[in-house]
């Protein structure tokens, strides 16, 4: 059974990963969407080089298009859904701490919001 993929949503209703995707050239978006589809199909067993662990429950989707290396930071919750938290163009060897902190902050906010609404985090 495929997993569900959701976009993290800010309090104002915007979805940062969705906005990032709309800023990319069409061919790049197509490649990113292919890897997101692999995540839906494979779930938590999606192998490297498409997915790798960052810290705790935080993982990254790894997308390369030409010389562009894109990363989407995400996590899986108890409702069999992956939440896409943050996306960026990776320009360094290691994932920048600021990118990781932002994704971790969004993950905690998402968990708190689900708990308030009575859902599983």
Q: For residue 64, what is the domain's CATH number?
A: 3.30.2310.20
Task: For residues 93 and 32, give the distance between their C-alpha atoms in angstroms, rounded to a whole number.
Answer: 20
Whether 18 has a pLDDT exceeding 80, the answer reads yes
In a domain, 45, yes or no: yes
Residue 2 has pLDDT above 60, yes or no: yes
Strands (E), 8-119: 51-55, 58-65, 68-77, 81-90
Domains in the chain, number: 1
Residue 121 lies in a domain: no
The whole-angstrom separation of Cα 24 and Cα 118 is 36
Is 80 a domain residue? Answer: yes
Q: How confident is the model at residue 28 (pLDDT cuts 50, 70, 90)?
A: very high
60-118 pLDDT, tens digit per residue, is: 999 999 999 999 999 998 788 999 999 999 999 999 999 999 999 999 999 988 888 77
Count of all residues that appear for the chain in the document? 121
Strand extents, DSSP E, 3-67: 4-7, 51-55, 58-65
Domain that holds residue 67: 4-116
Residue 121 has pLDDT above 60, yes or no: no
- The verdict on residue 69 lying in a domain is yes
| pLDDT value of residue 60 | 97
Determine, yes or no, domain membership for 70. Answer: yes
pLDDT over 70, % of the chain: 97
pLDDT band, very low/low/confident/very high, at 120 (cuts 50, 70, 90): low
Q: pLDDT at residue 55 above 90?
A: yes
Whether residue 49 lies inside any domain: the answer is yes
């Amino acid at each position: 059974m495929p997993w569900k993929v959701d976009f993290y949503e800010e309090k104002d209703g915007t979805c940062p990963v969705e906005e990032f995707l709309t800023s990319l050239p069409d061919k790049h978006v197509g490649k990113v969407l292919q890897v997101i589809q692999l995540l839906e199909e494979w779930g938590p067993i999606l192998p490297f080089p498409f997915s790798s662990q960052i810290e705790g429950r935080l993982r990254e989707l790894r997308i390369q298009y030409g010389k562009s290396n894109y990363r989407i930071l995400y996590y899986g919750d108890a409702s069999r859904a992956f939440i896409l938290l943050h996306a960026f163009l990776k320009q360094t060897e290691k994932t920048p701490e600021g990118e990781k902190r932002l994704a971790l902050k969004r993950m905690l906010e998402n968990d708190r919001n689900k708990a308030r609404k009575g859902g599983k985090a």
